[in-house]
Amino acid sequence: MESCSECGNRAVAARHYDGHSVLECELCGALAGSPGAVRAVLDARAARERGVDPAAFPLVRVLGDLRGLRIDAHGGGDRGQGVLPFVAFQLVDAGGLLQLENLGKSLQLAVRTSELDWTIELEPGPALTFALRPRLPAPATAQAVAAAQQDLATLARAIERDSRLSWWRHPASG
């Protein structure tokens, strides 16, 4: 029997959360297992604590971390209803315009790794709001929604990667 690496307790049980298998300490709640599975379970818990669909959380988190953007609304999609996932955001200052441009570049680069084409749309309303969503008609098939949900994490990784590159951090002056 394994013991908890956090508290040493021997009561460690196999658990399944959101399709991931991990070991959980029955005393302190610490998780162990593959790093990917532990990260996914912790992300799902953090998402629920913030009122975000776990499927949308990676993209909501990465966009929310970009200076000049504020998350306005989000949805993880619904396969049964044919509702596609999205993340809507507003620009809070002039720096947000640069983030919007960089986000567009990142989407162009991510086309090779994403299942679907994604777009940034301007949403009508009292405030200038943009929505990042798959370019598909609604309602969508369950298969298209599933592909879009997989893309949420793919896009989050691409944006996170690109935001560390020089062209994102140091735009060309001109």
DSSP secondary structure string for all residues of 18-54: TTEEEEEETTT--EES-HHHHHHHHHHHHHHHTT--T
What is the CATH classification number for the domain harbouring 125? 3.90.1150
Over residues 138-165, the pLDDT tens digits come to 789 999 999 999 999 999 999 999 999 9
Interval 22-44 mean pLDDT: 91
The pLDDT of residue 173: 60
Q: Is residue 1 part of a domain?
A: no
Is-contact 114 126, C-beta < 8 A? no
Question: How far is the C-alpha of 109 from the C-alpha of 20, rounded, in Å?
Answer: 29
Q: Is residue 157 part of a domain?
A: yes
Is-contact 76 152, C-beta < 8 A? yes
Asked whether residue 97 carries a pLDDT value surpassing 60, the answer given is: yes
Q: In terms of domains, do 43 and 125 share one?
A: no
- Domain range enclosing 141: 57-169
Q: Is residue 72 part of a domain?
A: yes
Q: In terms of domains, do 61 and 45 share one?
A: no
Q: Is residue 4 part of a domain?
A: no
Q: In terms of domains, do 16 and 64 share one?
A: no
Q: Is residue 80 part of a domain?
A: yes
Higher-scoring residue by pLDDT: 6, 158: 158
Question: How far is the C-alpha of 123 from the C-alpha of 121, rounded, in Å?
Answer: 6
Q: In terms of domains, do 150 and 110 share one?
A: yes
